[in-house]
Amino acid sequence: MKQVWNIAKRELSAYFDSLMAYILLILFLGFSGFFTWIYGSDIFYIKQATLVPFFNIAFWTLFFFIPALTMRMLSEENRSGTLELLLTKPVSNWQVVMGKFTASLLLIAIALLLTLPYAITISAIGNLDAGQAFSGYFALLLFSAMYISIGLFTSSFTKNQIVSYLMALFIGVFFQIIFGMLSMNAYGFAGRLLDYLSVATHFQSMTRGVIDSRDLIFFLGVSFIGLVLTEAMLIKKRFA
């Protein structure tokens, strides 16, 4: 646990040293604020005291931002050779992966924390459903965890950050829309499976305020698979 935190700490300070963190926070707050309050199907347009417009925007902004956070985490270490140094320190591969994962998730958590004024403002102008708001934030965290682990995985097998970013988007887009679209035209088991693999299904039910174990299992399951595959890529380097 201590080692995971040591690595996470270094990654976090790398985010803030390289301005990456500030850029992400500003863009995220800017985009989500703009579409929650000012433009499109914003809060005043739908005339309901709810965070759902914000959650729906974050659903897309995070989808694009998270790969940008994770793209350099392992690819840069591959390129510069620091991975060799890191893996010969007394840390396990799993600790390295978890440390990096934790750092990204913490940064996302900070970003989400900074949107709390939205919730406070909305609860001041109307009757905000606290349970639904909580469940929605929780969904965003789980959603982020899943894309972080996918991003880490795509970062682990290349030395090129752009390749890593695009690969993460490529894998992500299946979960984000393609599975959902396919499920509309598929029936029976295949239809149910595709529907289960679609992020939107789980995300929407959670932002409605329902926390179902099926949804938890989906997000945690995909995250876990991503992390295990990332670890496998690190182990593979020893057998190169």
Partner 1 sequence: MDIVVENLTKSYGTQKAVNNISFKVKTGEVLGFLGPNGAGKSTTMRAITTFLNPDEGDIYVGNYSIKTDADKIKKSIGYLPENNPLYEDMPVIDYLRFVAEIHEIPRADIEDKMINVIATCGLEKEKHKKIGELSKGYKQRVGLAQALIHSPEVLILDEPTVGLDPNQIKEIRELIKKIGRQKTVILSSHILAEVEATCDRILIINKGKIVADGKTEDLRKQTQGKQLLKVRIPDANMNEAFEALRAIDGVVLVDITDKEQRIFEVQGDHEKDLPRAVFETCVKNNWVITQLTPVETKLEDIFMKLTSG
* Residues in touch with partner 1 (CB under 8 A): 2-3, 6-7, 9-10, 13-14, 17-18, 80-82, 84-85, 87-92, 237-240
Closer to partner 1 at the Cβ: 17 or 189? Answer: 17
Give whichever of 17 and 188 is closer to partner 1, judged by the CB atom: 17
The CA distance from 98 to 144, in Å, is 14
Count of C-beta atoms within a 10 Å radius of residue 26:
12
Q: How far is the CB of 8 from partner 1 (least distance, A)?
A: 11
- Give me the torsion for CA of 145, 156, 63, 30, rounded to 10°: 90
- DSSP assignment of 137-190: HHHHHHHHHHHHHHHHHHHHT-S-HHHHHHHHHHHHHIIIIIHHHHHHH--HHH
Question: How far is C-alpha 99 from the geometric centre of its chain's CA atoms?
Answer: 15
Measured from the CB of residue 240, what is the shortest distance to partner 1 in angstroms? 7
Please say which residue, 84 or 212, places its beta carbon nearer to partner 1.
84
Closer residue to partner 1, CB minimum distance, 104 or 135: 104
| Least distance in angstroms from the C-beta of 110 to partner 1 | 20
Find all residues with CB under 8 Å of 53, minimum gap 6, and list them. 35, 36, 40, 41, 42, 43, 46
3-state SS record for 82-135? HHHHHHCCCCCHHHHHHHHHHHHHHHHHHHHHCCHHHHHHHHHHCCCCHHHHHH
Whichever of 85 and 125 has its CB closer to partner 1, that residue is: 85
Nearest approach, Cβ of residue 107 and partner 1 (Å): 16
Taking the least distance from each CB to partner 1, the nearer of 85 and 173 is 85
Please, what is the minimum distance in Å from the beta carbon of residue 121 to partner 1?
A: 37
Question: Closest distance between partner 1 and the C-beta of residue 11, in Å?
Answer: 10
Of 196, 177, 203, 195, the C-alpha closest to 52 is 203
**Nearest residue (CB) to partner 1, 80 versus 127:** 80
**Least distance in angstroms from the C-beta of 82 to partner 1:** 4
Rounded Cα gap, residues 31 and 211, in angstroms: 27
